[in-house]
Structure 1
Amino acid sequence: MTTAAEQVVRRGRKFDQVLEGARTIFLRDGFDGASVDDIAREAGVSKATLYAYFPDKQLLFKEICAQECLRQTQEAEAEIDPSMTVEAMLTLAGERIAGFLLSDFGQNACRLIIGEGARFPELARDFYRNGPGLVHDRLVHHLHLLVQAGALQIDDLDLAAEQFIHLCKAALMEKLVFRMDHQVTAESVRRSVRGAVEMFMARYGARA
């Protein structure tokens, strides 16, 4: 067993290969059900190589979630144009929030955390920090810029960010958690995001 000081991720030539294999197995078998043997086999590496990069299975799962969440957040921010209207910027953010929730990775990772979070609370906390927590922090940053520009009037940025995120998930989250995916359509997503933007602007839009 490795000590706390040894719990570090090491990179090498087959690092991405290991991550991709582990991602497949985790999403298929869950965290507890994913075996090191299956991960190594799926990644096409030896167990020695796997342990050289990730001495602990939790580290491997955390790295997968952190990279995927960061990638999607950076892609969304890269699409922001300073010339956008507030409504257009919020719509983009809302579509990205809903898009992650609807993606195969987003759905499977959320179900995995919900199902196993009680047994592995540290995993749940890390997933929140690297996923929903990261989205919240970046949204707070952009809302702050809009407030400074006079486009929004918000006293509590943290609360406003939470409200917008959950408004975007209205009529979507529970259907996905309870595997009613067939009721989630492109139109229902647009409806949720459009309603979130309209309600948010009605509450926080700058008034003359």
Structure 2
Amino acid sequence: MASAARQEREPAAPQGASQISPSGESEKRRQILEGARQVFMASGFDGASMGEIAKAANVSKGTLYVYFDSKEALFEALTTEAKTGLAENLFRLDEDDPDVRAVLTRLGTSYLAMMARPEHVSIIRMVIGACEKFPRFGQAFYEAGPACGVGRLKAYLDAQVAAGRLAAADTDLAAKHFLQLCQAGMLTRLLFNAGEAPGEAEIAHRVAEAVRVFFAGYGPAAAR
């Protein structure tokens, strides 16, 4: 029985696998991740099974295990890769852009719009629910998303401090302050399903206030 289970979990690569093009492998992997997303969203980590995921992805269990050797590996890939892509695109900041207020306003607006997306809130809930049992899930998710975003914003703030556009400060903490000023309880509200996602007017108001308060604390002395 153990041998049979091992064969099911660790099948040999399918015949002709070496002939699969990189683009084909990438497409199949995305197909599996999309199926996994549907199942994890509906059932959570504990309630999902590899059989259900294979069915949702329209692949065989053998093919599924070629790409991911466990449910844990699939869950981690799904949550961290999505977060990494968002962080890299969202925090693509031009360190030479001198209009700090405009840069922070654009970032804050995009950041809140992303944070308020129902699928993003659901992923956070899933990770929180799973990381007590699997702490590495939370660590990987944090490093791929929040830590990456803070690091990129810090680099931008460092450049502005060097140029004299912001006061000298702990820029790592300043980056965290700005992001927290933007969302200021919004994510908590959404995680607990205690209200609707913000509309454009609320997002604009939140970001304008965040920029105002940020400059009151970190702007050059003449701007305070």
For this structure pair, what is the TM-score category when the shorter chain's length is used for normalisation?
0.7 to 0.9
Alignment match of 2:35 (pick from 9, 17, 21): 21
- Return the index of the structure with the highest Cα Rg: 2
Alignment of 1:46-195 (within 5 A): 46-78=60-92, 80=94, 82-83=96-97, 85-182=99-196, 184-195=198-209
Shift, 1:115, TM fit? 2.7
2:214 pairs with 1:200: yes
Q: Match of 2:46? A: 32
Shift in CA distance, 188/144, structure 1 to aligned 2, threshold 3 Å:
same
TM-score, reference length from structure 1: 0.86
Task: Indicate if the aligned counterparts of 1:65 and 1:130 stay in contact, CA closer than 8 A.
Answer: no
Q: Percent identity?
A: 34
CA distance in 1: counterparts of 2:152 and 2:216, whole angstroms: 22
How many matched pairs? Answer: 201
Task: Indicate if the aligned counterparts of 1:140 and 1:158 stay in contact, CA closer than 8 A.
Answer: yes
Shift in CA distance, 183/50, structure 1 to aligned 2, threshold 3 Å:
closer
CA distance in 1: counterparts of 2:159 and 2:83, whole angstroms: 23
Identify which range, 68-77 or 166-175, moves more after superposition: 68-77
Shift, 1:79, TM fit? 7.0
CA distance in 1: counterparts of 2:123 and 2:115, whole angstroms: 9
CA distance in 2: counterparts of 1:90 and 1:45, whole angstroms: 44
Kindly report the root-mean-square deviation, in angstroms, between the aligned alpha carbons of the 2 structures.
2.3
3-state SS of 1:182 partner: coil
Task: Indicate if the aligned counterparts of 2:87 and 2:144 stay in contact, CA closer than 8 A.
Answer: no
TM-score, reference length from structure 2: 0.81
Shift, 1:33, TM fit? 1.3
- What is the letter of the counterpart of residue 151 of structure 2? D
Shift, 1:97, TM fit? 2.1
Shift, 1:67, TM fit? 2.2
Unmatched 5+ stretches in structure 2: 11-21
Shift, 1:81, TM fit? 8.5
What whole-Å deviation, never above 9, does each CA across 1:3-51 have from its counterpart, x for those lacking one?
Answer: xxx9xxxx72511111111112112211111110111111111111111
Shift, 1:109, TM fit? 0.9
Shift, 1:172, TM fit? 0.8
CA distance in 1: counterparts of 2:199 and 2:188, whole angstroms: 14
Unmatched 5+ stretches in structure 1: none
Identify which range, 51-60 or 63-72, moves more after superposition: 63-72
